[in-house]
Chains A and B, each alone.
Chain A
Amino acid sequence: MTDLNAVWAVGGLMALGALASLLFGGGGSRRAGVAFFAAWFVPGAGHLILGRWVKALALFGLLAATYGTGLWLCGWRHVSFEDNPFYYIGQFGSGVTMFLGQLLGDPKAYPREDMPPSWFDNGMLYMCVAGLLNVVIMMSVFDAARGRKAVEAPAPEAGRAAP
């Protein structure tokens, strides 16, 4: 399977999943499904759909900064399978990181001449981590959409109760 075919296959599967939840999901599960797939496509979009816009903005900002830094370090080119198979697969954790890499054209990252070559690996790691962290965010969206609340902040200790 070529690079582009893999991108279209994953993108198509996620779009089908979103469509299926929209068409066949009822009430809460429709919302959960749409939020889940939106969270895959754009980091933070799932939280935005659930009305948690502060979290959405924070997550989008963090992941955009991570991916942007990675791209910058790799000369504005995404990770190819030949560079590192693990980092390459990591990019599929988010639709934006997956499609943006393809839109940038040249399918291979290379070390920038104006930077130390050892930073090139960091760039690929940053791009991969942006995708992988989005998978965690998707799980969080799914939990939140199904009504599970975030963990309450631990209360300050006011003294131990008597046994």
Chain B
Amino acid sequence: MSASYMPYYIPIIVIVMLVLEICKYDDPKTILKRAFTNVAVLTGVLAAGMTAIYFVNKYF
């Protein structure tokens, strides 16, 4: 039986970003806003990388 890693990707990324921002800022709103922005940016970068690798593998 095999299953995707994906269910465990979002929680760990959110936790890492939250801890990093909690260490840096005191204001809860700023912490949440920056943490989730960073999660979105990181996910976007990883998705772009995966897409690029997919097309490189498919056509080259």
Residues of A within 8 A of B (CB): 55, 58-59, 62-63, 65-66, 69, 116-119, 121-122, 125-126, 129, 133, 136-137, 139-140, 150-151, 153-154
Contact = CB atoms under 8 A, between A and B. Distances in A.
A121 B8 CA distance: 10
Nearest to B33: A153
Interface residues of B, number: 21
A63 B19 contact: yes
13 contacts: A62-B18, A63-B19, A116-B2, A117-B1, A119-B3, A125-B8, A126-B12, A133-B15, A136-B19, A136-B23, A140-B24, A150-B24, A153-B30
- The main secondary structure of chain A at its interface with chain B is helix
Contact of A59 (B2, B11, B19): B19
Best-surrounded residue of B1, B5, B15, B16 (most CB of chain A within 10 A): B15
Contacts of B25: 150-151, 153
A37 B2 CA distance: 41
B37 to A, nearest CB: 12
A140 B23 contact: yes
A118 B27 CA distance: 38
Contacts of B27: 153
A153 B12 CA distance: 25
A69 B30 CA distance: 27
Contacts of A139: 23
A133 B22 contact: no
